Chain A
Amino acid sequence: MPVIETQNLSKEYSSGFSKQKVNALNDFSFSVNEGEIFGLLGPNGAGKTTLIKILLAITFPTRGNAKIFGTDVRNHKAKAKVGYLPENHRFPNYLTGEQVLSFYGRLSGMKPNDAFKKRIDELLELMKLTQWKQTKIKKYSKGMMQKLGLAQSILSEPDLIFLDEPTDGVDPIGRKEIRDILIELKSKGKTIFLNSHLLSEVEMICDRVAILNKGDLVKEGNVDDLTKAENIFAIHTVEPLNIELKQKILAIDSNAGAGENEINTEAGVDNLNKIIDLLRKNKIRIQSVSQKTSTLEELFINVIKKDNIS
């Protein structure tokens, strides 16, 4: 059973005095499986935060439905096993770090016993905030607030965690620490729904991603599959290629790039095989054949550009 499941989810907002309709989400259907780290990507205004808000019943869809753990998201009990770190979260600034965790932990249904106190201490330690636990959070830096927010979101040991820009304002070392925490959570079987602008970060930790643009789902799939560039292959040879052979390769694929020990072709699998046959016929040993990959950032930019043109 998917942990998150949406069917034909649409959200329209009225904008300005003219009450002009703005589509934040269009017929959005997708699912997230247990134990996945799922990344949601998209430019500003693509509908990412709207989607998270609908999944947490902070905003209601105009059409369609969404379920968490098989329960309609409008039922507040569906959120019993959910943690959430909103973008630009705002905790009551009259509380200390410890009190913030205690407050939100109690709201998540945790009982105020020794185990609860121990859990708070553990998380403060994990986030390196122990020495600040008795300090009012209005004195916290942005990075400390973000770490406290992350601690709040995982405090009740939820099975599903929504993180909206979790590393926003965090220094590189802090980011690495947060990434490690997320990977550890995944190893414990937790499902993580990540919304981040930092594509390199998403690429590093996400299993699957969805790209949203203007409310539409324009691409979805495994990170590895998506970042494999279609029909672009690289062949590395043991023996160097002579000029005659290079000319024969260009006859098969006029756009191929042939170096000393490397051939790059963008002409598809058939031509790749023709080139390999040619190499074998000429007694050239092949060291490796690999499909070229692009970064998630390259993929993202290409996908958004194409979608905007279409």
Chain B
Amino acid sequence: MLTIIKNTFREALAKKIFIGYYIFYAIVVLFMVFLVNMDAVEGVMSLADEKAIVHQVETGFFLLSWNLIIFFSLISTASFIPSMLEKGTIDLLISKPISRPMILLSKYLGAVLFVFLSMVFLLGSIWLILSLKSAYWDFTFLLSILWLTFAFAVMYSIVVVTGLTTQSTVITILVNFFLIFVLCPILSIREAVVFSLVTNETVKFIFDFLYYILPKPGEIRDITNAMILNEPINVWKSSLNTETQTFTVSWMSAISSFIFCSAMMAYSIYYFSKKDY
């Protein structure tokens, strides 16, 4: 397993897209270093207390970049599965005394670990810069490394399934783009927006059904932000307090995303184990 994971890292580092990926991260980090002014007299620190400002920068950063980071990570790793399935490559892998589920899981874990380390670099750097500039060390922010990696891992399970069934990098990217930027955001606001426009119960049921079974990368971000802000998190259902207009996220988004990811990976392993190459 370690051999395949190590090779996945090599594959990742050999791809030119990762140069762009890290240039993007470096720009974000440099932006934090030079442009975010947290000076106590001239900067934003003069306006409010350091803790609130740091939290605002952190959650604001995720609001802007959460889905983009996941999508960039997916673009850079989407070719791992189709390239593994190329004729002449897959034959050799399967001919080795390793089970097919182990090959697939190793490839999956390799991609997830690579993105985890990238998140350690990006979010760790941001945390360090914010902490040094503000003198407020928000350790909860570091949990976002795990949450962002988790959100990536969930969406990457879709890459694995589409990669295995279509052997096309382009299709896997398109499917993920549609889910992350179109379908999942629409499903998240279905009660507030869609249901006010649609009266048909069947359509409502379909929206609800899709909402509960599909992953929720945006709501995983909301959980992360709630943890950073030390806000309460419901167990099963998100709620909106109409009086205070405050929205409370629920763990259900993470749980259902985890179940979705497990189901996708179970299907992928089954499919990969039965497929002729």
Query: Which residues of A does B touch, CB under 8 Å?
Result: 53, 56-60, 76-80, 82, 84, 86-92, 94-95, 99, 103-104, 106-109, 152, 162
Contact = CB atoms under 8 A, between A and B. Distances in A.
Interface stretch (B96-104, B182-190, B237-245): B96-104
Interface string B261-277: 00000000000001011
Contacts of A60: 274, 276
Nearest to B89: A90
Most chain-A CB neighbours within 10 Å: which of B11, B86, B91, B94?
B91
A107 B3 contact: yes
Contact of B98 (A58, A76, A84, A103): A76
Nearest to A109: B97
A21 to B, nearest CB: 14
Contact of A80 (B11, B88, B93, B97): B97
B277 A107 contact: no
Contacts of A95: 7, 10
A53 B91 contact: yes
B95 A79 contact: yes
Given A53-B277, A58-B90, A91-B92, 4 more contacts: A58-B95, A90-B86, A104-B92, A152-B92
Contacts of A58: 90-91, 94-95, 276-277
A76 B277 contact: no
Nearest to A106: B3
A59 B276 contact: yes
B4 interface: yes
Contact of B94 (A56, A90, A91): A56
Q: Which 4 A-B pairs have the closest CB atoms?
A: A94-B14, A90-B88, A84-B95, A106-B3
B89 A56 contact: no
Contacts of A152: 92
Nearest to A112: B3
Interface residues of B, number: 25
B97 A84 contact: no
A132 B91 CA distance: 25
Interface string B176-199: 000000000000000000000000
Contact of B11 (A59, A87, A90, A94): A94
Contacts of A103: 3, 7
Contact of B92 (A57, A77, A84): A84
Contacts of B13: 94
18 contacts: A53-B277, A57-B94, A58-B94, A59-B276, A76-B99, A86-B88, A86-B92, A89-B91, A90-B92, A92-B7, A92-B10, A92-B14, A103-B7, A104-B92, A107-B96, A108-B96, A108-B97, A152-B92
Given A95-B10, A107-B4, A89 B92 contact: yes
A89 B87 CA distance: 7
A88 B88 contact: yes
B8 to A, nearest CB: 10
B140 to A, nearest CB: 38
Given A59-B277, A76-B97, A79-B97, A86 B7 contact: no
Contacts of A162: 95
Nearest to B95: A84
Interface string B65-104: 0000000000000000000001111111111111110000
Nearest to A82: B95
Nearest to B102: A76
B109 to A, nearest CB: 16
A273 to B, nearest CB: 53
B97 A77 contact: yes
Contacts of B90: 58
A298 B204 CA distance: 73
